[in-house]
Structures are given as C-alpha cells and as structure tokens.
Amino acid sequence: MTSTKKQTQVRLDEDVLEAGKAAARSRSLDFNKYVERLIIEDTTGARAAGMTAAQRLIDEHGTFLDDLEQQLDAPYDQQPGAAA
C-alpha cells in the first residue's frame, strides 16, 4: 500500500520553527502532524468555528469565569505571615 501523503519543504525563521516544535510537543504531536492539523483547521473552517464558540462562551459566561478565577486565587493572594 502506498502513502497518499506528499513530501514538501518549508522555510521558516528559526524562532518560528522552534515555537512550532514546542507547540507540537505540548500537544503530544510530531511537528508534521501539527502543521497538517493547522492547515486542515484553517482550510475547513474548524479553527474559525472553535474561535467563535470560545468567544461565545466568554461573552455569555465571562463574568462567572472571572469571579471563579478570583475565588480560586484568593488563598494565594495572602502574603506569608499576613494576618488571616
């Protein structure tokens, strides 16, 4: 069985390449799979749909999320040795 994948070459600035490799590692993907996923998400509209959904979540529940974050951070806001 032959692969339908084609090999290509891309030239990137070194810092862009390193950032891409780090992003791939953080997602447990190899760099090729990461780039492939980015292209698919961009060309199919999946990325735009995800960003729209995220913005809707922030718009509808942003205040709740901000309040929750403050509550979770409260125990860490006190300085060591400060009166409780």
Q: What is the pTM of this model?
A: 0.55
What is residue 77's predicted lDDT score, i.e. its pLDDT? 76
Asked whether the beta carbons of 67 and 58 are under 8 A apart, the reply is: no
Task: Give the residue, 12 or 47, on which the prediction is more confident.
Answer: 12
pLDDT tens digit sequence for 34-55? 999 999 988 888 878 888 999 9
CA 24 – CA 68 distance, rounded (Å): 30
Q: Is the pLDDT of residue 26 over 60?
A: yes
